[in-house]
Amino acid sequence: MDLSQIDPILLITSIMVVSTPLLFAAIGEMVVEKAGVLNLGVEGMMIVGAIAGFAIAVESGSVIIGFVGAAVGGAILSLVFGILTQVFLANQVPAGLALTLFGLGLSALIGQPYAGIRPPQSTTLDVPLLSDLPVLGPILFQHDAMVYLSLFLVTATWWVLKHTKTGLIIKAVGENHEAAHALGYKVVKIRLLAIMFGGACAGLGGAYLSLIRVPQWTEGMTAGAGWIALAIVVFASWRPERVLLGAYLFGGIGALQLRLQAAGANIPVEYLSMSPYIVTIVVLVLISARKSNAGTAAPASLGKMFHATN
Amino acid sequence: MKSIKPILAGAALAMGLTGAAQADDPLEVGFIYVGPVGDFGWSYEHNQGRLAVEEHFGDAVETTFVESVPEGADAERVMTQMALEGADLIFSTSFGYMDPTNAVAARFPNVRFEHATGYRRDHSNVSTYSARFYEGRAVIGTIAGHMTETNKVGYIASFPIPEVIRGINSAYIHAQRVNPDVEFKIVWVYTWFDPAKEADAATALIEQGVDVIMQHTDSPAAMTIAEEQGIFAFGQASDMAQFGPTARLSSIIDNWSPYYIERTQAVLDGTWESTDTWDGIEPGMVEIGEIADSVPAEVRAEAEALSASIESGEYHAFTGPLNRQDGSVWLAEGETADDGTLAGMDFYVEGIEGEIPN
């Protein structure tokens, strides 16, 4: 086994690329869950974002417009879930699952004419001097804009939740919707906005797959990434900085094991692929063990129905 | 959505049957696929076979399909549902459907089952069928051996099952025969269909200096990456030409239509019985896609001659002298592999580095 064959700089840059779709979807879902809504339709919103972004980028010739379209597409789809669960008070679990099925079917339908087409090329950042720095240049300054946007979103989410009134309101709605309602906050409206934010983020994650990482449209191409994003939120115990860690860990292990294999290392692939999920289970156990002192990490109103009685 | 369609169709059919008595009950043929029909690879070609059945038989046959069915318990549920809805013949088109197919077959003795790429026929109503993809691998392995300049060929493998190992061995033997310095870098992705992962595996291989990629997974993602990075690749299961206009050297195309039509006809005629079919280039179940212009004429001629000699039966893709990876003799000079060994192949041939994961 010759590990020197793996270029650490290339490895780190690929981990960032591989993890970005997960990071987008997970940070969005985290905000949704912070507001007390469990949307299991991440996979469906991602795949709709993947085709919406792809189709719009192909038609407009611009990757940027494609990503905007993906965010809008994901948000619109999430609004279907939002209206069902917040206005018509449907149970969130089946509504989320239905959203995934609906998204997979809808994307396959929209995607029919787009198979085998090449999307417009995306450009990577090229800052004079900085991009040419050894080691730091490739890691920090040579990515496509979406990698930076995903990192910015995590930072912004962390800041908003921790340091702003908006963040307090979102958390209040998620922890105790009755109390938030009594204080005069519009629970349903706030949750709908959070759901749409989650949909837009999932859409961006999906479009990152179809426009940059693969780049092509294939039916069902998210292949379970949305479910991993849901696992990351739990792994992160609903904290933005840990979402970043989780996304890079889940993506990183995948990227690392493929490179170890390509370099000829004899590694137990199946155990390495399994490890992020085992860590998630361990985290869940730790969270529930901690229950007695610090309370649970999950928002108290997560997944509960809210009906304003007065 | 699409996955629900057959169930709805079944429900509608059930209601229809209670109404009017139907004189000519069409033969019901069900298909279950491991990926989406739009994968442009494995499941796509099986669905082309289904469409050929519909076109060939017209009103005499009605087909349904369920796509993206995970291997395991879900497959058993889907096949049970199909059988309950009145399917007369079910094609289960992935290796991992083997145990579920036999389990459901035991409960529905009047329904015929056709399982692709497996070897278990526990009941008289189960047939197995597969294609000798390794014959095609011999041809594209020859092309790969000639075309690589770095002498490193990348291979994206799905699961360590005999079919995949056979393909790696056949490709390696023939690449090595024309290029003694060739080295195979094999990556196991443990999935049939995950474009992002397949693309990432291709990237990882290219980082290791690979300049020709072969794959045994279902999506054209690796072809797209090869095109982007300016290296070569082969279409797998489908031609995949549109995904790699300059990257694609050739392809192995699965053609299931003749077999599906023949088996459906057998049920209609009442002559269907449990069989084990393993066809290759000769009857046309395995086709070699057009060889690209980027391949030099003499290489193309060599590849075509190899394909022709396999087709005529003059040459077997596994002909001795061949040793196992550990150096022990597998086939003596001139000896050819028997189907039993091939069907259960669990070893690399001499020269391939690395271990098969278990």
**pLDDT score at A283:** 75
Task: Please check the confidence at residue B21 and state whether its pLDDT lies above 80.
Answer: no
Q: Look at chain B and report how many structural domains it folds into.
A: 2
Mean pLDDT score, B156-162 = 93
Give yes or no for a contact between B175 and B182, defined as CB atoms under 8 angstroms apart. Answer: yes
Q: In this structure, how many other beta carbons lie within 10 angstroms of the beta carbon of residue A14?
A: 22
For residue B286, the surrounding DSSP H or E stretch is: strand B286-288
Task: Please name every residue paired with B319 in a beta bridge, in sequence order, or none if there are none.
Answer: B336
Distance from CA of A109 to the nearest CA of B (A): 9
Domain boundary among the residues B72, B97, B131 is at B131
The mean of the pLDDT values for chain A is 89
**pLDDT score at A49:** 97
Decide if B258 is inside a domain: no
Decide if A282 is inside a domain: yes
The mean of the pLDDT values for chain B is 90
Radius of gyration of chain A from its Cα atoms, rounded to whole angstroms: 20
The secondary structure of A253-276, three-state, reads HHHHHHHHHHCCCCCCHHHHHHHH
CA-nearest residue to B1 within chain A is A105
pLDDT tens profile B207-251: 999 999 999 999 999 999 999 999 999 999 889 988 999 999 999
Which two three-digit tokens encode residue A239? 């904290």
Domain of A271 in residue numbering reads as: 7-115+143-294
Distance from CA of B245 to the nearest CA of A (A): 10
> Are B79 and B111 in the same domain?
yes
**DSSP strand pairing (B329-331 vs B322-323):** antiparallel
Alpha carbons A21 and A169: distance in angstroms, whole number:
28
The CATH number of whichever domain residue B336 belongs to comes to: 3.40.50.2300
> Are B105 and B146 in the same domain?
no
**pLDDT score at A211:** 94
CB contact under 8 A, A116 and B242: yes
Residue predicted with more confidence, B146 or B38:
B146
Task: Please name every residue paired with B233 in a beta bridge, in sequence order, or none if there are none.
Answer: B213, B248
| DSSP 8-state class, residue B293 | T
| Neighboring chain B residues of A259 at a CB cutoff of 8 Å | 204, 207
Task: Please check the confidence at residue B10 and state whether its pLDDT lies above 50.
Answer: no
| Neighboring chain A residues of B37 at a CB cutoff of 8 Å | 219
Q: How confident is the model at residue A254 (pLDDT cuts 50, 70, 90)?
A: confident
**pLDDT score at B204:** 93
**Is residue B26 helix, strand or coil?**
coil
> Are B89 and B156 in the same domain?
no
Minimal CA–CA distance to A246: which of A260, A262, A266, A228? A228
CB contact under 8 A, B40 and A269: no
Minimal CA–CA distance to B331: which of B313, B344, B343, B317? B317
- Picking from B33, B158, B243 by the largest number of A CB atoms within 10 A of its own CB, the best residue to mutate is B243
Q: How confident is the model at residue A293 (pLDDT cuts 50, 70, 90)?
A: very low
Q: How confident is the model at residue B350 (pLDDT cuts 50, 70, 90)?
A: very high
How far from the centroid of its chain's Cα atoms is residue A82's Cα? 18
**pLDDT score at A307:** 84
Q: Look at chain A and report how many structural domains it folds into.
A: 1
Task: Please check the confidence at residue A36 and state whether its pLDDT lies above 60.
Answer: yes
Alpha carbons A198 and A174: distance in angstroms, whole number:
15
| Neighboring chain B residues of A215 at a CB cutoff of 8 Å | 224, 228
Alpha carbons A45 and A126: distance in angstroms, whole number:
31
How far from the centroid of its chain's Cα atoms is residue A287's Cα? 22
CB contact under 8 A, B38 and A5: no
Domain boundary among the residues B81, B103, B131 is at B131
**Is residue A223 helix, strand or coil?**
coil
The CATH number of whichever domain residue A50 belongs to comes to: 1.10.3470
**pLDDT score at B102:** 96
> Are B123 and B143 in the same domain?
no
pLDDT tens profile A88-147: 999 999 999 999 999 999 999 999 888 878 888 877 666 677 777 777 777 777 788 899
> Are B185 and B303 in the same domain?
yes
Distance from CA of A256 to the nearest CA of B (A): 9
Which two three-digit tokens encode residue A29? 């879902």
Mean pLDDT score, B1-18 = 43
Give yes or no for a contact between A77 and A69, defined as CB atoms under 8 angstroms apart. Answer: no
Task: Please check the confidence at residue A5 and state whether its pLDDT lies above 60.
Answer: yes
Burial category of A60 from C-beta neighbours within 10 Å (exposed 0-12, middle 13-18, buried 19 and up) = middle
Which two three-digit tokens encode residue B295? 């391949």
Decide if B348 is inside a domain: no
CB-based contacts of A219, cutoff 8 Å, min separation 6: A107, A108, A111, A115, B36, B37, B38, B39
Listed in order, strand segments (DSSP E) in B141-261 are 152-157, 183-188, 212-215, 232-237, 248-254
> Are B194 and B232 in the same domain?
yes
CB contact under 8 A, B187 and A258: yes
Burial category of A116 from C-beta neighbours within 10 Å (exposed 0-12, middle 13-18, buried 19 and up) = middle
Alpha carbons B174 and B171: distance in angstroms, whole number:
5
**pLDDT score at A141:** 77
**pLDDT score at A125:** 65
**pLDDT score at A2:** 57
Task: Please check the confidence at residue A178 and state whether its pLDDT lies above 80.
Answer: yes
**pLDDT score at A308:** 78
Q: How confident is the model at residue B97 (pLDDT cuts 50, 70, 90)?
A: very high
**pLDDT score at A276:** 74
Burial category of A128 from C-beta neighbours within 10 Å (exposed 0-12, middle 13-18, buried 19 and up) = exposed
**pLDDT score at A310:** 54
Q: What percentage of chain A's residues is helix, strand, coil (to nearest 5)?
A: 75, 0, 25
**What percent of chain B lies above the pLDDT cut of 70?**
93
Task: Please check the confidence at residue B308 and state whether its pLDDT lies above 60.
Answer: yes
Q: How confident is the model at residue B1 (pLDDT cuts 50, 70, 90)?
A: very low
Question: For the CA atoms of A272, A277, A278, A280, what is the dihedral angle to 10 degrees?
Answer: 140
Decide if A309 is inside a domain: no
Does the global pTM surpass 0.90? no
Domain boundary among the residues B131, B162, B188 is at B131
Q: In this structure, how many other beta carbons lie within 10 angstroms of the beta carbon of residue A304?
A: 15
Amino acid code (one letter) for A149: L
Domain of B305 in residue numbering reads as: 133-253+285-343
Query: ∠ CA B281-B269-B266 to the nearest 5 degrees?
Result: 25
| DSSP 8-state class, residue B209 | T
Give yes or no for a contact between A177 and A306, defined as CB atoms under 8 angstroms apart. Answer: yes
| DSSP 8-state class, residue B336 | B
- Nearest-by-Cβ selection for A106 from B1, B196, B357: B1
Minimal CA–CA distance to B207: which of A107, A180, A6, A194? A6
- Nearest-by-Cβ selection for A262 from B187, B195, B196: B187
Q: How confident is the model at residue A264 (pLDDT cuts 50, 70, 90)?
A: confident
| Neighboring chain A residues of B191 at a CB cutoff of 8 Å | 223
Alpha carbons A129 and A136: distance in angstroms, whole number:
11
